[in-house]
Amino acid sequence: MTAPQKTRTTTKTTNRRQHGGNMKQTIKLAAAAVMGLAAGAAQAQDELTLQLKWVTQAQFAGYYVAQDQGFYEEAGLDVTIKPGGPDIAPVQVLLGGGADVMVDWMPSALAARENGAPIVNIAQPFKSSGLMLTCLKEHGIESPEDFPGHTLGTWFFGNELPLYSWMSKLGYPTDGSEGGVTIQKINFNVDPLLQKQVECATTMTYNEYWQVIDAGLTPEDLVVFKYEDEGISTLEDGLYTTEENLEDPEMVEKLVRFVSASMQGWKWAEENPDEAAMIVLENDATGAQTETHQKRMMGEIAKLTAGSNGALDPADFERTVEVLLGAGADPVITESPGDAAWTHEITDEALD
């Protein structure tokens, strides 16, 4: 509500004197009413904190969109989105009470669960994996049969498990022995590949692969192996909370609203990728991201969330477990966690 325009309240002097007091009182009452409504609305917003797996980028566009477009507000939520980074372990933040929900990849989440972290997958916005192995063609690698004798670089902290599983399926030792490969831990960049410290390196379809291209190489200089195509993909970027939270009816109700609004954000991002990328940029406090990279990334991310309504597909879960059990690496799960590691309780209500 706004105060009436001055031209509407100013007529003759006598009228001003006669009605001035009443008008001032009306404005004061109206302002008080607006403030009261605003205060009531603020009180109605339930606070919830989301911990991301990595830094602010289009990988998490759905959440920033849901915040920017008012989907969280419409759901009665005041959501705080915490960026991740190389020194941030989402599961530790979640268990320490610093977040109510976290974004994580299932390999690292299940490994943490087996090690005692009572965490549960409550939604799966990403249907497909963006993980792949990128090799320099100059090393003569054209197919998996050419891997022996070469060094493959990958990230660790659970991200290496699909690669170990793949090598196990192929029957290749991973210790550098004859007939096998050497798996080398690398940082979250492509420098080891560019500097030829490794012949192949783990990349994401939406991020590190394009860093290689931006460094001056062309797609013709590279050979890529997508984990989806090789049958060794695992679930990425799921939403997880604690078993304790799922025992709290009030928290469960908040999580239902959060997942519903988040999926609104993801579908909006799929349909409006360039606009979603710009929203991400507006939330990048570091200023490290660029418009070109984020728009390109969002276009690739939309391919991974397509086909998901947010509910975990049990078949995808079983495939992920199978891949992890065949990894033969550490950390690794030694047995299937079963249905206790995920639930449809939240998505059944959120997507109803």
- Same CATH topology for 69-126+235-350 and 131-230: the answer is yes
Regarding the domain with residue range 69-126+235-350, which homologous superfamily does it belong to in the CATH classification? Periplasmic binding protein-like II (3.40.190.10)
- pLDDT value for 97: 97
Q: Does residue 199 sit in helix, strand or coil? A: coil
- pLDDT value for 18: 41
From residue 49, give the alpha-carbon distance in Å to each of 46, 63, 234.
10, 11, 26
- pLDDT value for 159: 77
Class in CATH terms, 131-230: alpha beta
Q: What is the mean pLDDT of each run of 10 residues along the chain (352 residues)?
A: 35 37 37 39 81 97 98 98 94 98 94 95 97 96 96 86 88 92 92 96 95 95 95 94 98 98 98 98 95 97 96 96 79 85 97 84
Q: What is the CB neighbour count within 10 angstroms for residue 74?
A: 13
- pLDDT value for 332: 66
| Backbone conformation region of residue 105, classed left if phi is above 0, alpha if psi is from -120 to 50, else beta | beta
131 DSSP β-pair partners: 204
- pLDDT value for 36: 40
What does the block give as tokens for 150?
């070469």
144-150, Cβ contacts within 8 angstroms, sequence gap of 24 or more: 144/170, 144/225, 144/230, 147/172, 147/181, 147/200, 148/172, 148/179, 148/180, 148/181, 149/181, 150/181, 150/182, 150/199, 150/200
Its pTM surpasses 0.75 = yes
- pLDDT value for 43: 53
- pLDDT value for 144: 95
Domain definitions of the chain by residue range:
1-31, 69-126+235-350, 131-230
225 phi and psi, to 5 degrees?
-125, 105
